[in-house]
């Protein structure tokens, strides 16, 4: 599968500054900017920036950033699922994962995260993908908000809706381990029916495997 990428950008005002949201960017373009020290939701900032530089040059990888002049204050990543996860089970070339989305605390609530998702979907080639995001409550920054776990879930759903992702049922053990967890999905309009059917099996892999086992008894 050829992974075509088209650059898009938009600006918005936040905390008295102009924020540019742009991408996808390759690693050489990302290296022109500084990575904010508070972007630490997943690992130390310097290590996370290294991860973004690697993802940016994957054939399917996409990095969209939010920046003030030369400082990256937010980002979203897209790439193939980890080989150890169930979502790579069928080796679907048109299934990519929204791997991470993060905005520094001072710019939260200003629509930056939803802007990252909107700019992501401005690229028409995204219509060729099934995009998924696995939301686990233990990854949420609940300590920095006064929101309950359920209000945070509602906020996440609203944000993901800006990119066209909606909740979808699954029997994935990690997701169903807590009712606040969820699978978010966007199916592009150019995705073939065969891929949609394969993804439906993938979402309920345990049920499918159980049926095969029972039929083999």
Distance CA 49, CA 40 (A): 10
What pLDDT sits at residue 212? 43
Torsion of CA 111, 105, 57, 122, to 10 degrees: 0
Q: Over the stretch 183-203, which tens digit does the pLDDT of each residue have? A: 999 999 999 999 999 999 999
Choosing among 3.90.120.10, 1.10.8.10, 3.90.1150.10, 3.40.630.30, the CATH entry for 8-215 is 3.40.630.30
- C-alpha span between 137 and 151 (Å, rounded): 11
Which tens digits make up the pLDDT trace of 142-151?
A: 777 788 999 9
Angstrom distance (rounded) from CA 71 to CA 51:
17
Q: For a pLDDT cut of 70, what percent of the chain falls above it?
A: 95
The CA distance from 58 to 166, in Å, is 26
pLDDT of residue 213: 45
* Distance from the first to the final alpha carbon of the chain: 39
- Report the residue count for the chain: 217
Contacts by residues 142-151 (CB-CB < 8 Å, ≥ 24 positions apart)? 144/105, 149/180, 150/180
Spans of all domains in the chain = 8-215
Contacts of 172 (CB under 8 A, 6+ apart): 86, 134, 183, 203, 205, 206
Q: What is the mean pLDDT of residues 173-184?
A: 95
């Amino acid at each position: 599968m050829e992974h075509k990428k088209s650059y898009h950008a938009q600006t918005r005002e936040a905390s008295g500054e102009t924020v540019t949201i742009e991408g996808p960017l390759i690693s050489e373009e990302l290296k022109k900017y500084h990575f904010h020290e508070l972007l630490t939701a997943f690992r130390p900032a310097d290590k996370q920036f290294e991860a973004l530089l690697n993802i940016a040059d994957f054939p399917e990888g996409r990095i969209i950033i939010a920046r003030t002049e030369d400082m990256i204050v937010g980002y979203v990543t897209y790439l193939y699922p980890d080989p150890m996860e169930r979502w790579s089970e069928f080796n679907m070339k048109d299934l990519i994962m929204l791997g991470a989305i993060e905005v520094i605390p001072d710019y939260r609530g200003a629509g930056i995260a939803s802007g990252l998702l909107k700019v992501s979907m401005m690229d028409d080639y995204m219509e060729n993908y099934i995009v998924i995001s696995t939301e686990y409550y233990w990854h949420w920054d609940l300590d920095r908000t006064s929101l309950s776990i359920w209000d945070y879930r509602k906020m996440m759903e609203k944000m993901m809706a800006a990119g066209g992702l909606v909740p979808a049922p699954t029997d994935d053990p990690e997701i169903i381990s807590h009712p606040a967890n969820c699978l978010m999905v966007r199916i592009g309009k150019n995705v073939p029916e065969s891929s949609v059917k394969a993804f439906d099996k993938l979402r309920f892999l345990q049920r499918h495997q159980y049926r095969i086992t029972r039929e083999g008894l």
